Amino acid sequence: MTRLLIIAGVLLALGLLLERWHGERERTARELASTLRPLSAVTAERVSAIDVEDIGTAHSWHYVRADSAWRYPDYHDAYADTAGIGQLLRALCGSLATVVATDGTQHARYGITGPDPIRVRLAGGGAVLLDALIGRGAPGPRSSEAYVKLAAADTVYHLHANPRHALARKPGTGLAPMLDFHVLPRALGHPAIVALRAVDPQETARPLRLRRIELEPVPPTAPGQPPEGPGFAWLAAIGKDEVACNPDRANDYVSFVRDLRYDALVDATPAGTALPATHPASAVAGDGRRVEIEHEDGAIDVLEVLDGATAGEDLTGSRVLLHNHTTGQTGLVRSEDVALLFPSVADLLDSNGPPPASRQPTP
């Protein structure tokens, strides 16, 4: 009888210990899941290379940082989109996460297995700094949050950011995500444009020369009001004189130049340009049209229109080759957009006549 009582007591104690252990485990799991933590200790400043792999399509893309600018070497050494790269790095290096699963049995639920995930590797200093699988959005594909798993562990995190948004691709192009097609790449960080000179040898009323001047602040019209400005005005050269442009038209023109985009990049460069022996670009004659752009920091970009026929390009009159001497890149731009680079002075002065063609680059 005594032995049975002892056994019963031991079993009761074991049961209580087991129940307490389960309770502690559940409490720890709840605390783990509710604790916000950084996904990793990696900082964006340490990252010098990014590899992205879409597992479902088997497409992969490699980006490198060179001279403080991100580039995509596999497509004419294109500039990467600064905003997209920044969004991706902020999501993976600067966002907080909570644990939602600690084993592999629920990976499919979070889009971590099969063709669904996107794999991202961040590297720097010759080593992989972060290797992550991006699952589905949380709770849906358009959500601002996503599920993420580090490649070396089974733990799935609910990341309070969605890296997939930075990796969206332009439909129907087959091009990599995060490419910057601005003729004046944003990665160069140029400040405001302060002067332009547009040369078209086929027109006698050109070259067009514009420069920006700062206007004195306008005194307040009532006591206690701050002065207005300072503002800016654009002056166009006519012979030896300068006249003030219509401010809206001049600003629209400068914005158009700043925001102009390539449809695609090509391997072509102006004839006479010195190239490395390994450079694949073919020499192409220019057609005489040029735009010289001066920025507030003194940097100058020179855009030159090339003769597509000499490049062997079948442009069918709808697209033109445009070369940026600063970046060394040549791309295809719609002919109507290139024509808008060379407005007449009257276009920028006249405030009463019919408006010139749209100053927004063709989407």
Three-state secondary structure readout of 305-350: EECHHHHCCCCCCCEEEEEECCCCEEEEEEHHHHHCCCCCHHHHHC
d(CA 8, CA 34): 39
More confident call, 16 vs 346: 346
Measure the N-to-C terminal CA separation of the chain; round to a whole number of Å. Answer: 91
Residue of 290, 278, 276, 335 whose CA lies nearest to 308? 335
In a domain, 321, yes or no: yes
d(CA 44, CA 65): 11
In a domain, 283, yes or no: yes
Domain identity same for 197 and 312: yes
Domain identity same for 260 and 324: yes
Q: pLDDT of 287-335, one tens digit each?
A: 889 999 999 999 999 999 998 654 444 555 588 899 999 999 999 999 9
Domain identity same for 286 and 212: yes
Are the C-beta atoms of residues 219 and 227 closer than 8 Å to each other? yes
Give the residue numbers spanning the domain of 161: 39-167
Residues in the chain: 363
Domain identity same for 275 and 308: yes
d(CA 113, CA 136): 10
* Cis ω before 38 (30° cut-off from 0): no
Q: pLDDT of 165-219, one tens digit each?
A: 999 887 767 889 999 999 999 999 999 999 999 998 876 555 789 999 988 877 7
Share of the chain above pLDDT 90, in %: 53
Domain identity same for 91 and 194: no
The reported pTM is 0.80
Three-state SS string across 88-141, please? HHHHHHCCEEEEEECCHHHCHHHCCCCCCCEEEEEEECCEEEEEEEEEEECCCC
Domain identity same for 155 and 194: no
| Domain count across the chain | 2
